[in-house]
Chain A
Amino acid sequence: MSIQQASSAGGSVTTPVIDSAAEYSVAMTGIRKTFGSTVAIDGVDLAVRRGEIHALLGENGAGKSTLMSVLFGIYKPDAGTVMINGQEARIRSPKDAAGCGIGMVHQHFRLVSSMTALDNIVLGESGGAAGLWRGAAWRRRKSAEITRLCEQYRLSVPLDRPVWQLSVGEQQRIEIMKTLYRRCSVIVLDEPTAVLTPQEADDLLLTLQELKKDGKTVILTTHKLREVMAACDRISVMRKGTMVRTVRAADTNEQQLAEWIMGREREKAEQTEPAAGRRPQAPTGEPLLELRGVQALGDHGELALQSFDLTVRRGEIVGVAGVAGNGQKELAEVIAGSRPRVGGEIRLNGEPIQQATIKGMTRRGVAHVPENRMKTGMAGALDVVDNLLMKSYRSRERSAFGLLRKKANAAWAQSLVERFAVRTPDIATPVRMLSGGNQQKLLFARELQQRPLLMMAVHPTQGLDVGAAESVHRLLLQLRSEGSGVLLISEDLDELIKLADRIVVAFNGGANGEFHAAEASRASIGMRMTGLMEPARTGGLAEGPIRPRTSEGGR
């Protein structure tokens, strides 16, 4: 994997000049970090002024999280120095980082889910002999102290419930409380809005302003331009492991930022935009997959799917939108046959499915690109051929008398690799070594080999760069034009609006409204996603704040 030197279309690379060191609460220079042979970031400089909200902007894989993990002592950099408040700091562990007053809200929360919010917040506090015994009186005292802090920053956090029962937004507020409780002066938030509803994201941005008002320094990594322009003072743009430039938010605009983020590839991506646009008329194909009142239990025994209705016809792409945790995962698993259905009915091609099994659904022509491709999609340590064989090894062409046809399979795998343009050193390479985009292409190659009637793709472009995402989109569009049905479950609204003929919004385990492509807009879908608008009463907006969704429904 090579590092492309940052050279944007308009002008030379500017690195922030550190004039008076004390002005900056964080100054990182020449940071380099490699993982094995992959260079994640190289020669990166970042300077953050005291008391500002500083955005670190870039695509997935641009190195934002890596840089922040270096700052927080999770990764040891191969080269480079870190200055905190004008003094060189040696940050070798998160403990050192905390000692420098740096707190971090990770993208994947660092919370102990079986413990209460209170326990999570005070965790790691060395109270000495006096703080050792933690009886009822101690809890009351701490609870009062944290509640005061919550009020000061206008954060609402339920302190006495175990974390796993709380919504994502609440969990994030606990993470922020952790940094405040430890009196961190620099607060790093890694992709904080990725998991939030639009409303929750707005609340978060308000919270950040509160933090700034209190004199905290906030660093925020994101790839969403809107937020950056709305909330940040200065912006640093990263691309492919290098720092492109740092600018004041007032001196730039979204268009310019997008160019810096994408570099030259943006133009390339636009040129290769698939010609197959959306078809103008509503699809009239016969129903392929029909779900009526389907119910299923979640991991904790709660009713995660509550009467879900959905139809996918031949030759259409149906998108399922929704904030994570509103039943999409369970929906996909029920259709794939890996999660038992407890109510309702499923028909495939008009034929009722009694109890779906994974093998049965595969035989009936359901292909599945799962949410976490390296967890349930492919075996990372096995090579390209073995992973391609996983669904077809039983067929005559692939094996004889229970023995795999080695030569024929190798040739077959090679042809698939070429046809789907998978970039791999050779077909004996473990798929773990491939990039995310190539893994996904390989997974599609395997699933499309089954000539599926129905393709179910869950977050198919998550974590992929622009080019790979485009290839995935093209594959889905091609499936549609060949007359297959596609069920696309995604959190990326732009992707859904671009591809889907119809969009169904999942909320609280049910379908909360349906949009045809022509009438779909971010705002209207967003309102359904948050439950602000429900189909029963479409007369106007429901008033009052959004109630956070909790996962304790069925317990």
Chain B
Amino acid sequence: MDFITALLVAALSAGTPLLFATLGGILSERCGVIFLGTEGAMLMGAVVSIMTLSRTGSWPLAVVMAMLVGAAFGVLHGVLCVSLKANQTVSGMAITLFGTGLSAFLGKPYAGLPVPAGIPKLNIPVLQDVPVIGDLFGSQNVLVWASFMLVIAMQAYIYRTGWGLKLRAVGDSPSTADAMGIQVAAVRYGHVVAGAMLIGLSGAYLVLVFSPNWMEGMTAGRGWIAVALVIFARWNPVRALLGAYLFGAFEALGYRIQTVTDAVPPYFLKMLPYLITILVLMIIGWNNRRKPSGQPQSLGAPYYREQRT
């Protein structure tokens, strides 16, 4: 494998957790609820899946448990932000801090232990022998394939189904949706919980596939990058895919450069993805300064039916 192919493979691998978390964020924000608890929910998903796997040895169960713990955080966020109409930013930050702390506590006995048996890869006979594509897709992890499917499914869901129409309406104008008989709170709960489940799943991928052992704070800011990617993707699943792999590539590039030369300090390389995040946000802000951002217009605003305008 030459440098470029190796980089692409690594980008795919590093981009997948970002992709899951970004898709989760899109689901939540599309209905008008900002989810900043991504980092915490990812860590909780990771620690719960490693606990489940080392106790039961069943990876599907580990993945399901990660999604369930994500869902629990989604319900928490929903109760706070939809029912109690709390500030969404504060609630999200609290979830991140809580998840970070709790995962560190729960994960202590598992720190550094190797993951027993990972998630199987899907070997595709003919594809494996095609040069670059074979390296990329010939023997790829089941969860990576699941993420591809998810992008297609979500794109169709948001733009091609009646449910997606309701979702967009609730995110843009809850009062309109309400007047049309759509249950705003139910739609918001559903999508926040579903989004948080995907974020939990991204945590599971991180610990079961990407770097197969538990470390405290192992997400290393990936949750925050996913939050930025939601905006980068302008709330669109296909653009989320591109964004996630782009950032995955930068992350991988950092590691690759270290193997080639030590002229660049490793701390700088570790900083690279975050620096890129800031740069990308600046560029997007500049490019879209005259355009509507695609942001759901009621994002961050709780809905009160009787509020007088």
Contacts and interface: CB of A to CB of B under 8 A. Distances in A.
Given A35-B308, A108-B309, A127-B162, A115 B180 contact: no
B183 A112 contact: no
Interface string A115-143: 10001101111110001111100000000
Interface stretch (A70-78, A203-211, A419-427): A70-78
Nearest to A69: B306
B165 A134 contact: yes
10 contacts: A35-B308, A110-B180, A112-B168, A113-B173, A114-B172, A122-B162, A123-B182, A125-B162, A133-B161, A300-B292
A112 B177 CA distance: 8
Given A110-B175, A115-B168, A95 B162 contact: no
Chain A's interface size range is 35 or more
A178 B181 CA distance: 12
Interface residues of B, number: 27
Contacts of B175: 110
Contact of B292 (A108, A114, A125): A114
Interface in B227-245: none
B48 to A, nearest CB: 33
Nearest to B305: A74
B177 A133 contact: no
Interface of B: 160-163, 165-166, 168-169, 172-173, 175-183, 290-292, 297, 305-306, 308-309
Main secondary structure of the interface of A (DSSP, over half): loop
A119 to B, nearest CB: 6
Nearest to A119: B165
B182 A134 contact: no
Nearest to B181: A95
Given A112-B177, A178-B180, 9 more contacts: A74-B306, A76-B306, A110-B175, A112-B169, A112-B173, A113-B297, A123-B165, A134-B160, A134-B161
A126 B162 contact: yes
Interface string A503-520: 000000000000000000
Given A108-B309, A113-B172, A132 B177 contact: no
Interface string A523-535: 0000000000000
Interface of A: 35, 72, 74-76, 93-95, 98-99, 104, 106, 108, 110-115, 119-120, 122-127, 131-135, 178, 300-301
Contacts of B161: 132-134
A94 B180 contact: yes
B162 A111 contact: no
Nearest to B163: A132
Nearest to A126: B162
Nearest to A554: B290
What 7 pairs across the A-B complex have the smallest Cβ distances? A124-B180, A95-B181, A110-B176, A301-B290, A110-B179, A112-B172, A94-B179
A450 to B, nearest CB: 30
A330 to B, nearest CB: 15
A76 B304 CA distance: 13
A163 B127 CA distance: 47
Residue of B162, B166, B179 with most chain A CB atoms under a 10 A cut-off: B179
A135 B166 CA distance: 16
Contacts of B169: 112, 115, 123-124
Contacts of B173: 110-113
Contacts of A99: 181
B179 A106 contact: yes
Contacts of A133: 160-161
B176 A111 contact: yes
B263 to A, nearest CB: 45
A122 B165 contact: yes
A124 B168 contact: no
A147 B183 CA distance: 28
Contacts of A106: 179
A98 B306 contact: no
A151 to B, nearest CB: 23
